[in-house]
Amino acid sequence: MDSGACLLSLLVALSTVSHIRSEPILRLPSEKAISSDYCDSWRLAVETNNAGAWERVPVNCVNFVAEYMTGGRYRRDCDVVGNLSLAFARSVRLVGDGRDAWVFDIDETLLSNVPYYEETGFGFEIFNETSFNNWVNLAAAPALPANLILYNELKELGFRIFLLTGRSEYQRNATEANLLLSGYRNWERLILRRSSDQGKSATIYKSEKREELESEGYRIRGSSGDQWSDLWGYAVAERSFKLPNPMYYIP
């Protein structure tokens, strides 16, 4: 059966079931029902946010995600996003008053935590704050190559760069050290969660911070992040660029 016919029969099957049970027409299969050849479709549903919030990589997709992250595909996907971001940036007419801004997230955007997630099942294990903080303190995350290139090009073009991360103030030193070690220089400001920001969803916290930048007169031309919560909410950028991340979801 080709994939179109397959989808059609799935839709028919689901609508029949939903007719009987009056459930929503289309839902993702439960975690256990996801077979390994379904994982690329699962990944697309996750990236487009059709899947909504999800807690962990389905057990049957762990190998798929590991292969995706380390087998070259992730790198290529990020390169495409980086190139498209740069093409947009070059099309922007900068005012040139030092207020044209670009906002970057950090984790899985400027820095790659793949070495950490390799040790923890690529998103299969539930997030462990203690062990992740230990990793952050090592300041050993490599740069995400596509975004290091983009970052440097944006600086050349005259954008002011703001780093807006869900990491907390107490991680400032380790985060700065890691950014410098992996090649990033001369950002305008590094914004981390203060105690008053704890407990806010990423969407609210990041929207509030972007709004503060706008009230200082910055025009947020572009924004890059691996989570939708880096990009949407309010005070959004003129263009937002979503990096892939099939390992975890942050609301």
Q: Does the footprint of ligand NAG cover residue 90 (CB under 6 A)?
A: no
Q: Which is nearer to ligand NAG, 8 or 84 (CB)?
A: 84
Q: Where are the alpha helices (DSSP H) in 182-242?
A: 202-215
Q: Which residue has the tokens 């440097």?
A: 152
Rounded distance between C-alpha atoms, residue 73 and residue 221, angstroms: 28
Q: Which is nearer to ligand NAG, 175 or 245 (CB)?
A: 175
Rounded distance between C-alpha atoms, residue 107 and residue 114, angstroms: 10
Residue from 91, 130, 196, 215 that binds ligand NAG (CB under 6 A)? 130
Q: Does the footprint of ligand NAG cover residue 131 (CB under 6 A)?
A: yes
Contact (Cβ atoms closer than 8 angstroms) between residue 231 and residue 102: no
Minimum distance from CB of 189 to ligand NAG (Å)? Answer: 16
Q: Does the footprint of ligand NAG cover residue 211 (CB under 6 A)?
A: no
Binding mask 142-181 for ligand NAG (x = CB under 6 A): -------------------------------x--------
Q: Does the footprint of ligand NAG cover residue 115 (CB under 6 A)?
A: no
Q: Does the footprint of ligand NAG cover residue 7 (CB under 6 A)?
A: no
> In angstroms, what CA-CA distances link 123 with 62, 74, 227?
8, 15, 14
Q: Does the footprint of ligand NAG cover residue 80 (CB under 6 A)?
A: yes
Rounded distance between C-alpha atoms, residue 232 and residue 79, angstroms: 22
Contact (Cβ atoms closer than 8 angstroms) between residue 203 and residue 227: no
Give contact residues for ligand NAG (rule: CB under 6 A).
76, 79-80, 83, 128, 130-131, 173
